[in-house]
Amino acid sequence: MTRFRPQNVRTRLTVWYVAVLAGVLLIYIGSASALLYFHLRGQLDHLAIEDLETVEGLLSFAPDGKLSLRNDYHDHPFPSQMQERLMEVLAPGGMILYRSEVLGNRGLGAAPYPGEGTSSYSQRSIRLSDGTHVRLASKRHVIDGHPTLIRLGFDEAPLRQNFWQAVIGLIAGLPIALGFAGFAGYFLARRALSPVERMALRAHEINADHLQARLIVENPNDELGRLAEAFNETLERLEQSFERLRRFTSDAAHELRTPLTAIRSVGEIGLQQPASTEEYREVIESMLEESVLLSRIVDSLLTIARADAGQIRLEKVDIPILPFVREAISLMHVLAEEKNQALSVEGTISARVRADPVILRQVIVNLLDNAIKFTPRGGNILVRVLPAAGPSVAIEVEDDGPGIPPEHRDKVFDRFYRLDEGRAREKGGAGLGLAIAKWGAEAHGGRLELDCPASAGCTFRLVLPAAADPVLQVENRALYAAGSV
């Protein structure tokens, strides 16, 4: 058996609205009916008590010991629907002393139960032998020195008739009320959800080639408006990601094509005509140079791809940063010596950071490599390690190269970005070193800054959080001394 489930939200909202309203109305009808029933029964009880009080003064024993009711009782006015008075007078032992003609041979209950009508009026509903429902009031009374129990009741049929007429009237109006509520609820739900439908139609138009489109925000202050703004922000991020992916793919293809084309061209030229061993060696050396450049580009691309995918896990330890920087500088001394450059370091020996040694070494090497490339022959490169606010540790790489124009300073950390395409190509750069360095700084909770004065030269400043746990410092100092770091 399949469960009924409307397909669209507005129908489900309408069904839920009608169901909740039906429940509320049923509770209201039940409560109102109960109040009406008790009110009508209260009126009947009040009438029976008043009549019983009247009867108490009209009953008397005749000389023959027979109980009788004065005739003027029957002239007592009552509403037309309450004319049938049912009355019975009993002795304490249960013997019937008087019974009204309307009651006939029907009894208003059995023998008196303990406490009936003793202190006040006893009220209850009973059912006669013929099935008639009677609301009964009883009271003990002394007549001419004889203790008696007077029972007086009225047929509940008029009460029940009025009650059920009111209940049926309320129930009969329920479908009409629910019908109007259903139409109104569907209209309101449709109107409230119309912005969602328009957003859905707009969203269907957005694809990879049309990411600049945005959802219409009709009211930015309500829930749907905030939802549309959240979607637009997501679309903005997606568009930027797609744009970066397109640019990255295009730039990567361009960077890879250049060394591959060079390798192919050198190889084809070398095979076109016979050459000496020395000439073939030169051809192979040229191909190897392009292969090294190609390997660097591929390694950088893999690093960036893994970083974007979140696949690089940092294994952080406490590192005394000054010895660590000196170790990285030792790896770059050969390149600096080829250009007769002076590479020096100074700073605070006690400065420590908590970082991944492999990633941090790559960041520092990339900054040094960039400084060596753009510092002229015979130039100076200074690396400083000094404390910074935070508490943090700053690693500054200062060169005396040509500097970076102001219009390019915000873009030097972009992937594949180079100030001079031809000169960067000659220096073996692919425009990925600073991008990887920036990622490495941010992955450690730090930042990479650029400071270029008006004169020549630039300073790249790597700021990292300082290690502050003395226990970890002692443990990791031993690891560093043992060569584990």
Whether the per-residue pLDDT at 426 is higher than 50: the answer is no
Instruction: Give pLDDT, residue 3.
Output: 58
Q: How confident is the model at residue 72 (pLDDT cuts 50, 70, 90)?
A: low
pTM: 0.49
Percent of the chain with pLDDT strictly greater than 90: 5
Report whether 458 contacts 472 (CB < 8 A): no
- Per-residue pLDDT tens for 88-147? 888 888 888 888 888 878 888 888 888 888 888 888 888 888 888 888 889 888 888 889
Instruction: Give pLDDT, residue 421.
Output: 47
Instruction: Give pLDDT, residue 35.
Output: 92
Report whether 446 contacts 464 (CB < 8 A): yes
Whether the per-residue pLDDT at 423 is higher than 50: the answer is no
- Per-residue pLDDT tens for 204-242? 777 777 777 787 787 778 777 888 888 888 888 887 877
Quote the mean pLDDT of the chain: 79
- Residue 268, SS3 per DSSP: helix
Q: How confident is the model at residue 60 (pLDDT cuts 50, 70, 90)?
A: confident
Instruction: Give pLDDT, residue 419.
Output: 63
Q: Around 338, how many Cα atoms within 13 Å sit in the side-chain half-sphere?
A: 6
Report whether 371 contacts 339 (CB < 8 A): no
Spell out the domains of the chain, with CATH numbers in brackets. Answer: 9-162 (3.30.450), 223-308 (1.10.287.130), 317-481 (3.30.565.10)
User: Which residue bears the tokens 């292969």?
Assistant: 291
Report whether 197 contacts 203 (CB < 8 A): no
If we measure between CA atoms, which residue out of 322, 464, 460 comes closest to residue 381?
Answer: 460
